[in-house]
Structure 1
Amino acid sequence: MKLSVLDQSPVLIGQTPADAFQQTTELAKHVDQLGYHRYWVSEHHSTQSLAGSAPEVLVAHLAANTQNIRVGTGGVLLPHYSSYKVAEAFRVLETLYPGRIDLGIGRAPGGMPNVNYALNDGSYPNVEKYPEQVKELMAYVHGHDPYSLDVRATPQTETTPPIWMLGSSGTSARLAADLGASYSFAHFINGFGGTRAMDRYSNHFTPSIQQEEPQGNVSVFVVCAETEERAEYLASSLDVSILKIEQGAKRDGFPSPEEASQYSYSIFEKERVRENRQRMIVGNPEQVKERIEHLARAYNVNEIIVNTIINPFEERLRSYELLAKAFNQ
């Protein structure tokens, strides 16, 4: 089983985005030493609670501060950008850190609807072009000239960063299969229907210039502590945070468990927390290991990407450490 990391650079209440980036760097170093397989950073815009708005910049920084772990994006939101320019940026990264870069892409806006206009000169991006953009990107990344313009993404090197398509639905899975990309299902976003989406990807995969066989993984929220009771206590802040995101409430960061324990849930909110727990794995190391292995079997993958958001940060480091020990990393 391969364990990897998705880091959204969360800003904890009372801290700053600079603190979040310092923690992202420290966490990347920590899991690199623990033997995790890859480390992805996300793209979010116009939010006070997630600091990572430019993942390609963070990738360069994190690759320079780690030794072995693969580093990539989870992911670049392609409809906002030129496929050619994205290919060039990742060809630069691949040249600097050969064999260690992943190019994860998605088509979500990365924030509230107004973000779309800010990123696209006052217009809404044409997401219908996304499949064609991915084709362009794959061609440019692999040194091709898709429009016969005598234009290639440089620099050209011997290795090529693999493209991972990120999604949370069967539609994204089928697109990844049709285009011959690797596929990552965001179970931490959608806790239902993911196994069908992954089956759809595997059963309809078409070989491409990138790869001959399907390759998939799954990302999930995980909170691991020495005891189940401690894990539940730490996860309470994530419960409240997810609920506030769903309600569109203004947030200044992720609360501590002490603050979360003061929250008074309505009957409806308690039901939402119960449903949202389908997106999370919470428990002691033995429980978490068993549930991760069950998730991997259900999805028929050999890699799980762990997204852990815990306040305080030290408990987050500890969660990844306990998980690595449980899997004998």
Structure 2
Amino acid sequence: MPTTSATHAGALRLSVLDVAPVFTDSSTAQALRNTVDLAPRVEALGYQRHWVAEHHNVPSLATSSPAVLAGRLASVTTSLRVGSGGVLLPNHAPLVVAEQFGTLQALHPGRIDLGIGRASGGDLLTARALGRLFAADDFPRQLRELTGYLAGTADAASEHRVAAIPAPPGQPWLCMLGSSLTSARFAGALGLPYAFAHHLVPHLTVAALDTYRSAFRASSQLAQPYTLVAAAVVAGESDEHARGLALPYLLRKIHIQQGRIYDLYPGPADVAAHRFSRVEEKYVQEHSGDQFFGGPTTLAEKISDLVQRCGADELLALSLIHDHADRVRSYELLAEAVPTVPESRHQAVR
């Protein structure tokens, strides 16, 4: 049994991971409007945070500018934590990231999260178009530079010191994102919270969180390990209803495997016209089992099992559902199905 700070089996904090999905019968603008509309709704439901990802040159995902979108989400909420899930640091100069999120922190004190990742968020041509500044193996130095700017200690010995403006006091809540054992060790050694991409590599979740805890060293930000698990969640009124809601997302996953990277998310009409092969049906079943699709009872059982197996402290729910009303309802059903930890524990990691 992994070590967990959850107060009882199945209890954890609930948050949102958002990629602003774009469907064939919709638009990028509508996807962004849906994301903005979702934020106050999940705030009212008691969700802890709403994170937006960074992707580039992927037409089906409208989250290319996490700092811009996080600012908009903060402006339509009052207590919800908002931020990046995450900023892909090799794409950016650390000073720019520190200034963007320092500005957000100054405007919305105590509500800004800065999730950091090492990936590119796009293909090689896109990386070149972004003017990608750093290689992945330069990430440790980048992160040290970023944390120095956030803490106000960067270039402290230099006669011509460079500082991030706005400056401290007050910093975003920094978190390391990853999908490998390497990122888990790195986050643990730095004493940072760690968010693992269960929606991408579910077979590594338990090992990654165990690795993180083993490597963990207390830091000025965090005295004890803190883990978040990002997973695909589709909550329906019943298991069958949830399966139907999940099919556009699952068909999109199949398209990606087929190399159709630049397609939009299929809508219900596209799903109805598609004839799933036996191989595709098997994939749908397997992926549905790995993630959190189902009615309230099934959802509660699956999430309780996750907490017991890996000791997750928080679930970042990624709900890629076609109809916005169904997406909102999915987050409502999830909040009803999962016991959350007491408010006193919420305060401990803010």
TM-score in terms of structure 2 length: 0.89
Higher mean C-alpha displacement, 251-260 vs 195-204: 251-260
Match of 2:195 among 178, 184, 196: 184
CA contact (8 A) 1:70 1:102 kept: yes
2:135 to 126, 130, 136: 126
2:239 aligns to what?
A: 228
Counterpart position of 1:175: 186
Aligned counterpart for 1:154 among listed residues 165, 176, 188? 165
Pick aligned residue for 2:281 from 248, 270, 279: 270
Deviations 1:249-299 (A, max 9, x none): 155422233431332233333333334335421110121122112112222
Instruction: Find the counterpart in structure 2 of residue 49 from structure 1.
Output: 60
Instruction: Tell me what 2:16 maps to.
Output: 5
1:69 shift after superposition: 0.8
Once the 2 structures are TM-superposed, how far is the Cα of residue 328 of structure 1 from its aligned partner? Answer: 6.1
For residue 106 of structure 1, report the CA deviation from its aligned partner.
Answer: 0.6
Q: 1:201 to 1:146 in 2, by over 3 A?
A: farther
1:77 maps to 88
Partner of 1:142: 151
TM-score normalised over the length of structure 1: 0.94
The residue type equivalent to 1:130 in the other structure is: F
The SS at the match of 1:104 is strand
Structure 1 residue 292 and structure 2 residue 312: aligned?
Answer: no
Q: 2:251 — aligned with what?
A: 240
The question of whether the paired residues in 2 share the 8 Å contact of 1:256 and 1:312 is answered with no
Deviation per CA, 1:115-150, whole angstroms, max 9, x where unpaired?
Answer: 1111126xx741110011112111211121246332
| CA deviation after TM superposition for structure 1 residue 52, in Å | 0.9
Deviation of 1:242 after TM superposition, in Å, equals 0.9
Deviations along 1:7-27, one digit per CA (max 9) or x if unpaired, are 100012211111001000011
Supply the distance in 2 between the matched residues of 1:148 and 1:78 (Cα, whole angstroms). 24
Q: Is there any run of 5+ residues in structure 1 with no aligned partner, and where?
A: none
Q: Give the structure 1 partner of residue 176 of structure 2.
A: 165
Provide closer, same or farther for how the CA distance between residues 258 and 286 of structure 1 changes in structure 2, counting only shifts above 3 A. Answer: farther
Q: Match for residue 111 of structure 1? A: 122
Aligned in 2, Cα 1:125/1:269: closer, same or farther, shift over 3 Å? farther
Q: Which amino acid in 2 is paired with 1:28?
A: A
- C-alpha root-mean-square deviation of aligned residues, in Å? 1.7
Q: Secondary structure of the residue that 2:175 maps to in structure 1?
A: strand
Name the SS for the 1:165 alignment partner: strand
Picking from 9, 13, 36, the partner of 1:25 is 36
**Cα pair 1:223 1:234 within 8 Å, conserved:** yes
Determine if contact 2:152/2:168 at 8 Å carries over to the other structure.
Answer: no
The 8 Å contact of residues 25 and 267 in structure 2, kept in 1 or not, is answered as no
Q: How many residues align?
A: 327
C-alpha distance in 1, partners of 2:289/2:137?
30
Bigger mean CA deviation after superposition, 165-174 or 277-286: 277-286
What is the match of residue 67 of structure 1?
78
Q: Is the 8 A contact 1:236 1:261 kept in 2?
A: no
Is the contact between residue 177 and residue 205 of structure 1 (CA under 8 Å) also seen in structure 2?
yes
Distance 1:112 1:274 in 2: 29
Structure 1 range deviating more: 297-306 or 193-202: 297-306
Shift of 1:84: 1.6
Give the partner amino acid of 1:127: A
What code does the residue aligned with 2:251 have?
V
Contact 1:116 1:125 in 2 (8 A): no
Alignment correspondent of 1:37 = 48
User: Does the CA contact (< 8 Å) of 1:233 and 1:257 recur in 2?
Assistant: no
What displacement does 1:308 show?
Answer: 0.3
Shift in Å at residue 51 of structure 1?
A: 0.7
Contact 1:190–1:279, Cα closer than 8 Å, also in 2: no
Matched, 1:254 2:261: no
Q: Matches of 1:309 and 1:71 in 2, distance apart?
A: 19
Q: Give the letter aligned to residue 240 of structure 2.
A: E
